[in-house]
Amino acid sequence: MKKYFVLYNPKSGNGTGGKVVEELKGLLTEEKEFIDVTTVKDFNEFFSGLGSEDAVVICGGDGTLNHFANDVSDILPENDILFYATGTGNDFLHDLGKEPGTLVKINEYLSGLPEVTVNGKTCKFINGIGYGIDGYCCEVGDQLREKSDKPINYAGIAIKGLLFHYKRTNAKVTVDGVTKEYKKVWLAPTMNGRFYGGGMMPTPDQDRKNNGTVSTLVMYGSGKLKTLMVFPSIFKGEHVKHTEMCEVRTGREVKVEFDAPTALQIDGETVLNVTEYTVRTKEAK
């Protein structure tokens, strides 16, 4: 008899992830067991306890999905793995064209993920790597979250950063061995999907079901006021029309080097004091 093992993150969605228990009690009619995903220490052992017909449901945001993907990358079972989004941004779900409140089978999206190496550590990522003012926004958001339970206004942080606080860097970006240098860089993310940061679309043509490539956006050279005017168009992917300040490059191996330390984010998780990162797809190995 089929059983659903529901792995939920109570901290997702600004601490509302635990509500998923009540939501899924009505959505899943078969036998089910709810497990706090943060208490699972050995996924090999966990998977060995599944029956052939059983399914796993991952409940949380993009960060939860990132941690799960890294924990199980080499031990994925043949059982169905479903995702139920309970995060605040839900960029992965958005990229698939799905709405919150639905169960989505994600087995095919968990294998062959690209890897990022930063500050001596390597991990896989689901959506993208944010480097520049997007990493700065995550850094400031983390600081605010430590002081208050109020929702974080990342758009407000970005605007204040653009106008007053964020200091641009120069960058060298190498894609499949071809290096280009950019002055006064605002953004230099590398994407596996199209969306990050709660709906921003830095690389609108990127396809996570591609043949092992990622896309890197460089937004550079423009002044504060022009950047502030263009920046909102990133939510529709229309910023790329401004070719004088935006360039998207696609390849299998990407290295981004800044000339000053800057915060970086990996699927929403902040890494501080970063001067470079390297992304490699499965096709680059």
Domain that holds residue 68: 3-110
Identify the residue whose tokens are 């919150």. 100
pLDDT attached to residue 126: 96
- 124 and 104 fall within a common domain: no
Shared domain for 201 and 135, answered yes or no, is: yes
Q: Which of 120, 142, 137, 167 is nearest to 277 (CA)?
A: 120
C-alpha–C-alpha distance, residues 262 and 135, integer Å: 7
Question: Both 146 and 244 in a single domain?
Answer: yes
Q: Which of 77, 110, 143 is the last residue of a domain?
A: 110
Q: In terms of domains, do 186 and 229 share one?
A: yes
Residue ranges of the chain whose pLDDT lies below 70: 13-18, 285
Number of domains in the chain: 2
Q: Do 138 and 224 reside in the same domain of the chain? A: yes
- What is the reported pLDDT for 18? 63
Q: Are 37 and 5 in contact (CB under 8 A)?
A: no
Which residue, of 91, 110, 129, is where some domain finishes? 110
113, 127, 130: which is closest to 285 by C-alpha?
113
Gap between the Cα atoms of 266 and 67, Å rounded: 11
Q: How far apart are CA 100 and CA 120, in angstroms?
A: 36
Check whether residue 125 and residue 182 sit in a common domain.
yes
- Give the per-residue pLDDT at 168: 94
> How far is it, in rounded angstroms, from Cα 206 to Cα 190?
10
Query: Can you give the pLDDT at residue 89?
Result: 83
Give pLDDT, residue 202: 96
The answer to whether residues 151 and 257 belong to one domain is yes
Nearest to 117, CA basis, from 262, 247, 271, 258: 271
Q: What is the pLDDT of residue 13?
A: 61
- Say if residue 71 is in the same domain as residue 191: no
171-205: pLDDT as tens digits:
999 999 999 999 999 999 999 999 998 889 999 99
Cα separations (Å) of 263 from 13, 54, 83, 153, 178? 22, 41, 29, 18, 25
Sign of CA dihedral 129, 134, 140, 141: negative
Q: Which residues contact 241 (CB under 8 A, 6 or more apart)?
A: 233
pLDDT digit string (tens) for 48-82?
999 999 999 999 889 999 999 999 988 999 999 99
What is the reported pLDDT for 153?
Answer: 80
82 and 142 in a single domain? The answer is: no
> In this structure, are 101 and 140 located in the same domain?
no
| CATH number of the structural domain spanning residue 27 | 3.40.50.10330
